[in-house]
Amino acid sequence: MTAACCEDLERLFQTDAEAVCFAASLLDISEFRLFEIAHVNWFGGEAPEIAMEGFFGNYLQSGLVPFWLRHMVRSIIGKHRKGNLAASEFGIEQPHVSPSGRKIGWVVIGLLSCLVFAIGWVSTTVRPRWWQ
């Protein structure tokens, strides 16, 4: 990572916490999940849950970002700026909807739309006897 890249990041974000939030949003994961992935990438294994909660709690309370997370955030943002960021590089599987699942979703949306229309039509045209 070049010094110019790090200077650019410092201009983009006022704090490391903002950069962490941005990197997590780029990968479409939570900040806590980003902590977990960064720990695995740096140290080669998962941290005990209590340790990870301590790191994350510190981050939430004071905005302190561990060095291993800062390194990964810079890498993520750098790849994003170059246009070659892939969540799969970090072991993140994006949800995939099958074509048949997508068709079923559109059918359900269509049926619900028809139901809403029918209820609206009935409620504006049919009046009970006591109303007249």
Domain ranges of the chain: 3-90, 99-131
At 1, the amino acid letter reads M
Confidence band (pLDDT; 50, 70, 90) for 122? confident
Q: Is the distance from CB of 19 to CB of 9 less than 8 angstroms?
A: yes
Where b means 16+ CB within 10 Å and e means fewer, 9-18 reads beeebeebbe
User: What's the pLDDT tens digit per position in 34-71?
Assistant: 999 999 889 888 888 888 888 888 888 888 888 999 99
pLDDT reading at 7 higher than 70: no
User: What's the pLDDT tens digit per position in 95-111?
Assistant: 777 888 888 889 999 99
The token pair that represents 116 in the structure block:
């809403």
